[in-house]
């Protein structure tokens, strides 16, 4: 079974998806982390987004594993723990351009479908309900006011020791949303049959309960 959770940057998808997965005993799949791994690998190797051949070679050789380490998601790229590195400002600045590339999307979608063929999962991203799993049993679209999203991102970054102003973060979030929603391939958009959840005034517990309630209600039908 697939529970798809899509939505823009910092809408609360990751935290919500992770707890929903824990509560249901499902695997949690953060697809944004996968695009971030490719971006980090390209930065490390000095590969430009226009160099399709080098990107294809990189995609053929990259391994990405999302592990559950004592309840915390550990992101492994080529057997190295990159959980913190993929959240750096440099990766965040470049990830939208990398995730707009056709070859990158094809490779990631293939990995995502492969993982989901083996286990029940809560998968979060931008195109899960529209492209990766259009037939997912449950689809949710999380949205929130951009100031609230910037405040959330500020707290996450502070925990990593990175200080940024709210204004800077609002601009960063708006720029990424614009890029992700207007790209040609698999743009960020709500699937017609997804349930919209505005998280502006919701706590994490509130978001989680809403989703679990809907899943349980439909399961018993």
Q: Which of residues 34-93 bind ligand DC (CB under 6 A)?
A: 35-36
**Shortest distance (Å) from residue 172 CB to ligand DC:** 10
The Cα angle at residue 5 between residues 109 and 32, in degrees rounded to 5? 50
Q: Which of 77, 107, 126, 149 binds ligand DC (CB under 6 A)?
A: 126
90 to 119, contacts with ligand DC by CB under 6 A? 95-96, 99
Interface residues for ligand DC in 144-203 (CB under 6 A)?
176, 180
Q: Which is nearer to ligand DC, 35 or 140 (CB)?
A: 35
Separation of alpha carbons 33 and 29, rounded Å: 9
Nearer to ligand DC, 129 or 208 (CB): 129
Minimum distance of ligand DC from residue 34's CB (angstroms)? 7
CB within 8 A of 141, min separation 6: which ones?
5, 6, 7, 129, 190, 191, 194, 195, 196, 197
Binding residues for ligand DC (CB under 6 A): 9, 31-32, 35-36, 95-96, 99, 125-128, 176, 180
């Amino acid at each position: 079974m697939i529970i798809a959770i899509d939505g823009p940057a910092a809408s609360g998808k990751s935290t919500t998806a992770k707890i929903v997965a824990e509560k249901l005993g499902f695997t949690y799949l953060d697809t944004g982390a996968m695009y971030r791994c490719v971006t980090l690998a390209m930065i490390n190797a000095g590969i430009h987004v226009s160099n399709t051949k080098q990107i294809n070679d990189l995609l053929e050789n990259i391994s990405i594993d999302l592990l559950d380490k004592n309840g915390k998601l550990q992101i492994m790229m080529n057997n190295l723990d990159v959980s913190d590195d993929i959240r750096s400002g440099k990766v965040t600045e470049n990830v939208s351009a990398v995730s707009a590339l056709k070859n990158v999307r094809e490779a990631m979608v293939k990995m995502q479908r492969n993982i989901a063929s083996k286990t029940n999962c809560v998968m979060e991203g931008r195109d899960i309900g529209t492209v990766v799993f259009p037939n997912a049993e449950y689809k949710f679209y999380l949205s929130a006011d951009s100031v609230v999203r910037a405040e959330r991102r500020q707290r996450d970054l502070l925990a990593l020791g990175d200080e940024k102003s709210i204004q800077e973060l609002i601009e960063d979030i708006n720029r990424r949303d614009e890029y992700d929603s207007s790209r040609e391939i698999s743009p960020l958009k709500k699937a017609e049959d997804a349930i919209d959840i505005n998280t502006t005034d919701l706590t994490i517990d509130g978001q989680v309960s809403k989703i679990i309630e809907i899943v349980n209600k439909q399961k018993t039908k």
